[in-house]
Amino acid sequence: MDGPAVVAAYQDLYQVERSFRMVKSDLRARPIFHQLRDSIEAHLTIVFAALAISREAQQRTGASIKKILNTLRPLRTATITVGGHQITAEPELPDEARELLNYLNPGV
């Protein structure tokens, strides 16, 4: 293996390690001790789907996943039914959250 190939391999390894750190810390995906193959595969599918979505969100916004989560996680919408009428209370969006959401969902 020549020098550039070694450097490329280490860069790939670094990206994989960085992704696993992000999954464990920012996405809070902790090990769950499954015993059935289907459960293990389902867990891994969810974790990798979250990682793929996170990478896409980072790419669209230019922000770290930690910043995206810290900005958007507190936002909640509540829907209540009173006397047969539904009332939806949407959160007030801070400018930073609105900007991130515009990058994530352009045209809306």
pLDDT in tens, 9-62: 767 666 767 766 666 666 666 667 778 888 878 887 887 888 888 889 999 999
Number of domains within the chain: 1
pLDDT in tens, 50-61: 888 888 999 999
- Count of CB atoms situated within 10 Å of the CB of 100: 21
Under DSSP, is residue 40 helix (H, G, I), strand (E, B) or coil?
Answer: helix
DSSP state of 94: P
Domain of 33 in residue numbering reads as 3-104
What is the value of pTM for the model shown? 0.62
